[in-house]
Amino acid sequence: MQEIELKFLVPESRLKGLMRQVKVKSSQVTQLAAHYYDTPDQQLAQAGIGLRIRKEGDTWVQTIKAGGDGIAARLEHNAVLDDKQVQEMLHNNGLMPDLTIYAETPVASALTNFKLKKLAQNLTRLYVTNVERTTRLLIEDSSDETNSCIEMAYDHGEVVHGTDDSQRKTIQEIEFELVSGDLDFLFTTAKTWCKRYKLCLSTVTKAENGGLLINGQNHSPAVGADLSQLDLNKDSSMPAFIRAAVHNCLLQILPNSSAIVAGSIDDEHVLQVSIGLERLQAALTAFDSFSDEINPDWLPILKQTSSLLDNYYQLTHINTYIEPELQALGAPAVDWTTDIENIKITPINTLRANDFQLTLLELIAFTMSDPSIEPQTDKLALDKLAKILSKQYNKCLKADKETDEVSSTELGSDDVNVDMDISEDNQDEALLCDHLKALRYISEFSAPLLSKKKAKKKTKRWLKRLIKAHIALEQRNDDNQYQQFYALKSAKDTNALYGAGWFAAMLTDDPIYIETRLAKFKDSSTFW
């Protein structure tokens, strides 16, 4: 069976109001005590699998969960256990799951990489959860007899370390699970509650929280782009293609966003959300004609979110990485903490913003909607990709030419002004960088369909050169930004003059390296 659910964190400021809607006359309260199992080195967790035995009221249920067909979908198998046998195992401190029951079930595919007998021998109880669950059913008012139904579940409790019960982690979340009916009802309902109570999407399962607890971590490590999970083939229609691309971006955005809204201040989480948002914007812009279901309101919100994250990330990156590097070279210390504290909109504020959370919900709904009902379903993405890539490639060539036409004397000048503003040349370089970035991302989405078996090395080489050119130019743009930060800072703190001058000198050394990378990229024949 596949469960389809959406999970949210609840802000404390909205909890009282939400509870008035959760605890109604028809709601039910259940005490859930769950034992979670894995190997000591957490092989199941690494494979995205959660295995538990849970007491639900008076019934013991063994459950396994694994990845499903969509962002909000998970494979799930539940088996009611014999109460007498469970009590005997508990008495002997030997409560263990039975893996043999999965042999002929849909979830068996998730266990194909494991030798079940060996796995069973290595299983141990890593942690337990004690949760009070309040549930109520939400039923769609419909004129026909096919009413949709959602189970809303509010969970409050804690995860407890399996061998040290002094180590605990609080759980407070709300879930909406589709019991029957239309998927649209699930997302419409979730959006209503999200808007009213400022809920924030979370991909962190109880099993993941347990794993974090036993590993002594507050948040899971940052997640980068994983193109191996891009589900495409040469028969993919235009609507299916754009859904797969958006889904791949969300696989990067959502785990990192979940960590940040839960309190992470790790720069890497911010960076990976930003990259995911850039990839998503590139896909929605380049392939906007592939679907009639793309909402034009998405892009402005995504762009605003990216901009706010970048503003914060640049300052924290300076403070965390650049300052130690400069001081190691003999630079006087520059204190950036006040500058960071003065930023009114931090990553947690940015990602908790209701318009962004609602946009994420709409994007998830889009990826899970049926592409076959769209007018473009009879059109193959393969037939359109080459034209789109060529258009973007030509934008890069044009921007590169315009950059070359701008006077090169500024780059080669020995008279570098540490107070310089963004020059016309810098603006042109920034535009070229943006075009290269977009070309990189849409090429990565398109390569699985356009790359022929005999030309895989050619495709790989072209992408490698494109990425190197993009990274080199992006680094120069970053150096420009950092130079300006230090130049502005020097008006109040003369210690910043060292950093301003250092980056100015760096900028004079960059052009030759960048020109080499760009030349290699332009000399390579395209793969489409």
SS (H, E, C) 34-79: EEEEECCCCHHHHCCCEEEEEEECCEEEEEEEEECCCCCEEEEEEE
What is the pLDDT at residue 402?
85
pTM of the prediction?
A: 0.91
What is the pLDDT at residue 419?
43
CA distances from 439 to 37, 341, 433, 462 (A): 44, 36, 10, 12
What is the pLDDT at residue 421?
45
CA angle 419, 425, 426 (to 5 degrees): 60
What is the pLDDT at residue 403?
80
Separation between Cα atoms, residue 329 and residue 24, nearest integer Å: 64
What is the pLDDT at residue 1?
67
Contact (CB, 8 A) for 272 and 407 = no
Q: Where are the alpha helices (DSSP H) in 319-381?
A: 323-328, 337-341, 347-352, 354-368
Rg (CA), the chain: 26
Separation between Cα atoms, residue 68 and residue 74, nearest integer Å: 4
The three state secondary structure string of 86-110 is HHHHHHCCCCCCCHHHHCCCHHHHH
What is the pLDDT at residue 350?
98
CA distances from 87 to 6, 92, 161 (A): 33, 9, 22
Q: What is the pLDDT along the chain (528 residues), one digit of tens a residue?
A: 678 999 999 999 999 999 999 999 999 999 999 999 999 999 999 888 999 999 998 899 999 998 877 788 888 999 999 999 999 999 888 899 999 999 888 888 889 889 888 999 999 999 999 999 999 999 987 766 678 999 999 999 999 998 898 999 999 999 999 999 999 999 999 999 999 999 999 999 999 999 999 999 999 999 999 999 999 999 999 999 999 999 999 999 999 999 999 999 999 999 999 999 999 999 999 999 999 999 999 999 999 999 999 999 999 999 999 999 999 999 999 999 999 999 999 999 999 999 999 999 999 999 999 999 999 999 999 999 999 999 999 999 999 988 876 544 444 444 444 344 445 557 888 999 999 999 999 999 999 998 777 778 889 999 999 999 999 999 999 999 999 999 999 999 999 999 999 999 988 877 888 999 999 999 999 999
What is the pLDDT at residue 422?
44
What is the pLDDT at residue 3?
86
| SS3 of residue 178 by DSSP | strand
**Interstrand relation of 59-67 and 50-56 (parallel, antiparallel or unpaired):** antiparallel
What is the pLDDT at residue 416?
40
What is the pLDDT at residue 387?
97
Express each pLDDT in 12-62 by its tens digit: 999 999 999 999 999 999 999 999 999 999 999 988 899 999 999 889 999
Determine how many CB atoms are found less than 10 A away from the CB of residue 82. Answer: 9
What is the pLDDT at residue 424?
55
Residue 115 class from Cβ within 10 Å (0-12 exposed, 13-18 middle, 19+ buried)?
A: exposed
How many C-alpha atoms does 247 have within 13 Å on its Cβ side? 22
CATH says 2-217 is which class?
A: mainly beta
The CATH number of the structural domain formed by 237-380 is: 1.20.120
What is the pLDDT at residue 72?
83
What is the pLDDT at residue 425?
59
What is the pLDDT at residue 163?
86
Handedness of CA 149, 155, 160, 165 (dihedral sign): negative
- What residues does each domain of the chain span? 2-217, 237-380, 381-528
